Amino acid sequence: MGIYLFPGSYQLTMGNAILALSDGNFAVTGPNQTTASTSDIVFSSAAHTKLAKAVTDRLKHCLAQKKLVTDCRFGVKGSPSVRTSTIKWRITSGSSDFSKTKFTLDDSLTSATASIKVSVKVTWTGSNGRSYYIDPITIKHAYIDFSDPSKIDVQFGY
């Protein structure tokens, strides 16, 4: 069983907006005759912007949390006394702008990785009224799952 096409020009596209074919164009010139070339799966033209935005949004989300251990899994070990409203995360080096970051497509074709270097620090006031902080934590990697392009998931590695 196969697919039969009438003579003409055709273009193959990917079902995931993050991915594209390096050359998805081919022509059918007659029965069993095509001008199809070998094509590689690559990031689409919009992929870099979408991946960078997803990483930025995830980091900003975690920095805004009033938790000593964030959803991004960086934080303070132990259980210090804390006034939750005083918790403040901030970037001490690096940036939350990942527009120039190089993303690498994984073999699964549903995820990507990036080497990044962002250090974050938290300060808070304890229930005793004293100010506390931890030494900066350095985030070294971003792991991006885009198997569902409408809901890109980002995790960080340290």
The partner residues of 144 in beta bridges, in order of sequence, read 112, 154
Q: Decide: helix, strand or coil at residue 44.
A: coil
- Dump pLDDT digits (tens) for 25-55: 888 888 777 776 678 999 999 999 999 999 9
Distance, in Å, from the CA atom of 149 to the CA atom of 42, rounded to the nearest integer, reads 15
At 93, which amino acid appears?
A: S
Q: How far apart are CA 34 and CA 140, in angstroms?
A: 46
Question: Is residue 53 helix, strand or coil?
Answer: helix
pLDDT in tens, 70-107: 999 999 887 778 899 999 999 999 999 999 999 999 99
Q: Which two tokens mark 129?
A: 């009224």
At 85 the three-state DSSP class reads: helix
- How far apart CA 1 and CA 72 sit, in angstroms, is 48
Going from N- to C-terminal start, the domains of the chain cover 8-42, 46-157
Helix (H) or strand (E) holding 144: strand 137-145
Q: What is the pLDDT of residues 120-145, one digit of tens each?
A: 999 999 989 999 999 999 999 999 99
Specify the length of the chain in residues: 158
pTM value surpassing 0.85: yes
